[in-house]
Structure 1
Amino acid sequence: MIGIIGLSHKSASVHIREKFALDKAESAKLAKSIFDNKYIEEVVILSTCNRTEIYFKADKCCSTGAFSILLRYLHDLVGESDEMHKHFYRFQHDDAIRHLFRVVSSLESMVLGEYQIVSQIKEAFNQAKENGTVGKVLKRLFNKALETGKLVRTNTAMSTGAFSVSYAAVEKCSEQFENLQDKKILLIGAGETGELVIKNLYKKGCKNIMVTNRTRNKAEELAARYNGKSLPFHDLMLGIHEAEIIVSSVACKEPILDAGRIMPHLNGHPRVMMIDLGVPRNIHPDVAGINGVSLLNVDDLEEVVAGNKEKKQAYVSVAEVIIAEKVADFSDWLSTQNLSPVIQKIIAAVNQVNLNELAAAKKFHTEEEFQFMEKYGKQVSDKLVNALIKSMKTISDNGRKTEYVKVINDLFSPSNE
């Protein structure tokens, strides 16, 4: 079977999601551990600010067993209790395929139509290929998912307007400051999210943008592209002192800023807005208690993008039709892959029994009688084969319940004849 287990902004708040947010090294470690389990054949792990999901193929155990295995490995890695299970959704068969196609088409994103998820899925898929944890089925699944996402964007106006949480963050700044163009802005982090932030600030006409990053040359390059200035990361608090708007999006396991560290460096601006786009969070929640400071995290931006969703609902029905067709196509291909070898084994096994019995009976009958027996045996064999295949398709949900396919496959293997 193909399955997915995961959590997202729809099932868990940021303080839960950040516990299961995985960096590249952690994702690789988890994937390798899961892949080494004899029951899991392929695995891809996707971890973004809004979701952590494990996509897998498991034909040697039931769905309940597969989900339990994955949860155990995940909880062992992050050190969280089983109490967190309630935040995870589980999909299998067509529901799992549909979910991935919806994710890559941004129908599951906080910002409907955002494009960043495409690059995130490509990165997760490429990492899985590099680590050797994907095979024929998930390779085809992810390639078809990316094709579906492209088709949705080509045939709808889904990607127009707000296209990322970064955009929503800038819109929130525009709501709070009438003269946004003149505000002193500090951007912490020069990754993909940080670049989207500065790009949208630049479009708004902002002129006083400073960028800091652990890797200095990345900060310098990003700032230069948008007429900003770079700040060495060790001088971060100088930037905090000057800024009226602070947007942070760096990868970290613990907050890099908290109230105790920030307060001595505030310079008396009547209002300071801090936006934390990191998961795990970059800014400790206690900063919200500082007088004159407004703190927002990724979940707080949902109300900003609500209007964007309403405008784009008309496109969702079109996208759903495209996705349904592509899910059916992939499911048909997968069923063929699952059932064809077993069907051939059933045909071969039944025919072999027929031939063996005919051979044993031939010496006791005339040629005319043997020809009649041969014809009759063929008719009985064909009916038996058709009945067995029909039952197999019903029991295995047309090949989707691969654990049943495996049992039938074993029953008709040569060693069991």
Structure 2
Amino acid sequence: MIGIIGLSHKSAPVNIREKFALNQDDSAKLAKLICHNKYIQELVILSTCNRTELYFKADECCSSGAFNIIISFLHKHVGVDDELNKHFYRYAHDKAVNHLFRVVSSLESMVLGEYQIVSQIKEAFNQAEQNGTVGKVLTRLFHKALETGKLVRSNTKMSTGAFSVSYAAVEKCNNQFKNLKDKNILLIGAGETGELVIKNLYKKGCKNITVTNRTITKAEELAKRYSGKTLPYNQMMEGIHEAEIIVSSIATKEPIFNAATVKPHLNGHPLVMMIDLGVPRNIHHDVADIPGIALVNVDDLEEVVSGNQEKKQALVSVAEEIIAEKVGEFSDWLNSRNLSPAIQQIIASMNMVNTTELELFKKFHSDEDYQQMEKYGKHITEKLINSMIKNLKTISDNGRQTEYIKVVNDLFSQINEQ
């Protein structure tokens, strides 16, 4: 079976999502642990600011059993108990495939048409390849997903005027300040999200931009592209003293500052916007209690982007038709792959039984009787084979319930060995 277990901005707020946010090292360790389980053959972990999802292939195990294996490993890895299970969704078979195709097509994103999810999925799959946790099935699945996403974008223009979370952050600033161009801006983090923020600020005419990052060379490269300046990461608080807009988007397990550490460095600006695009959150929520500070996290930006979504809703039905067709194509391939060995076992076994019995019959009967029995035996064998294949497809949900296929394979392999 193919399954997915995960949570997203639709099922869990940021204070829950951040508990399950996984960096590359976390993902690699967890994936290898899970794949040591004999029932889980393949695994890809996708972890972004808006979702953490585990895509897997399991054999010789029912859906509920596979889900329990995955969630128990995940909970143990992040150190939480079962009470957070209510935030997770679980999909199996075609529903899991459909979900991935929707995700890569940005239909499940906070922002319809945003393109960042494509690079995030590519990165998650590439990491799984490096970790050795993918095989033929998930490789085919993710290649088909990326193909589907590309087809959706080219046929719906879904990404035209895409309204990213980073752009929404800039719009939030634009709504708060009359003279955005004149504001001093501190960007903490030089990754993809950080660059999207500075790019959109630059388009708004902002020139007073400072970039700080753990790796100073990355900060310098980013600042140079947009006529900004850099600040060493260990001097961040000096940047906070000057800034009226602070945007943070770095990977961290704990907040990089809180109310106690920020207060001494504020210089009396009537309003300071702090936009936290990190999951886990970069800025402790108690900063919002400081007078004159407006703190915004990724979930707060949803209201900004919602107004731009309505005009794209008409494109969703077109996208869903494309996705449904591609899910069908993948399902046909997978079912054929799953059922083919069992079907071959059935055919070989029944033909072997028929041949053996005919040879025995021939020893004690005339050639005429043998020819009649040969015709009848062929007729009965074909009828039994067709009936067994039909029942196999029914009981295995047309190849989706692989645990039943395994039983048939084992049963008929025993017959062939006799």
Instruction: Give the TM bin, normalised by the shorter chain.
Output: over 0.9
Give the match for residue 320 of structure 1. Answer: 320
Aligned amino acid, residue 407 of structure 1: V
CA deviation profile, 1:38-95 (whole Å, cap 9, x unmatched): 0001100000000000000011100111000001110111000011111110000000
Q: Secondary structure at the match of 2:274?
A: strand
Give the match for residue 79 of structure 1. Answer: 79
Structure 1 Cα separation of the partners of residues 178 and 105 of structure 2 = 34
Aligned amino acid, residue 405 of structure 1: I
Q: Secondary structure at the match of 1:44?
A: strand
Q: Secondary structure at the match of 1:280?
A: coil
Equivalent pair of 1:17/1:50 in contact (CA under 8 Å): yes
Equivalent pair of 1:115/1:163 in contact (CA under 8 Å): no
How far has the Cα of 1:411 moved from its partner? 1.4
Structure 1 Cα separation of the partners of residues 289 and 161 of structure 2 = 34
Structure 2 Cα separation of the partners of residues 178 and 310 of structure 1 = 27
How far has the Cα of 1:127 moved from its partner? 0.5
Give the match for residue 3 of structure 1. Answer: 3
How far has the Cα of 1:404 moved from its partner? 1.4
How far has the Cα of 1:149 moved from its partner? 0.4
* Uncovered stretches (5+) of structure 2, i.e. residues with no partner: none
Give the match for residue 156 of structure 1. Answer: 156
Give the match for residue 235 of structure 1. Answer: 235
CA deviation profile, 1:187-211 (whole Å, cap 9, x unmatched): 0000010000000000111010000
User: Structure 1 length normalisation: TM-score?
Assistant: 0.99
Aligned amino acid, residue 237 of structure 2: M
Give the match for residue 49 of structure 1. Answer: 49
Aligned amino acid, residue 113 of structure 1: G
Structure 2 Cα separation of the partners of residues 179 and 407 of structure 1 = 70
1:185-200 alignment runs, 5 A limit: 185-200=185-200
Q: Secondary structure at the match of 2:282?
A: coil
CA deviation profile, 1:337-396 (whole Å, cap 9, x unmatched): 011111110011111111111111211100010011111000000000000001111111
How far has the Cα of 1:406 moved from its partner? 1.3
Give the match for residue 124 of structure 2. Answer: 124
How far has the Cα of 1:414 moved from its partner? 3.5
Percent of counterpart pairs with the same letter? Answer: 74
- Residue 332, structure 1, aligned to residue 332, structure 2: yes
Give the match for residue 168 of structure 2. Answer: 168
1:387-406 alignment runs, 5 A limit: 387-406=387-406
Q: Alignment RMSD, CA only?
A: 0.9
* Uncovered stretches (5+) of structure 1, i.e. residues with no partner: none
Q: Secondary structure at the match of 2:392?
A: helix
Q: Secondary structure at the match of 2:407?
A: helix
Q: Secondary structure at the match of 1:3?
A: strand
Q: Secondary structure at the match of 2:40?
A: coil
Structure 1 Cα separation of the partners of residues 367 and 26 of structure 2 = 71
User: Structure 2 length normalisation: TM-score?
Assistant: 0.99
Give the match for residue 268 of structure 1. Answer: 268
Give the match for residue 255 of structure 2. Answer: 255
Give the match for residue 66 of structure 2. Answer: 66
Give the match for residue 30 of structure 1. Answer: 30
Equivalent pair of 2:163/2:305 in contact (CA under 8 Å): no
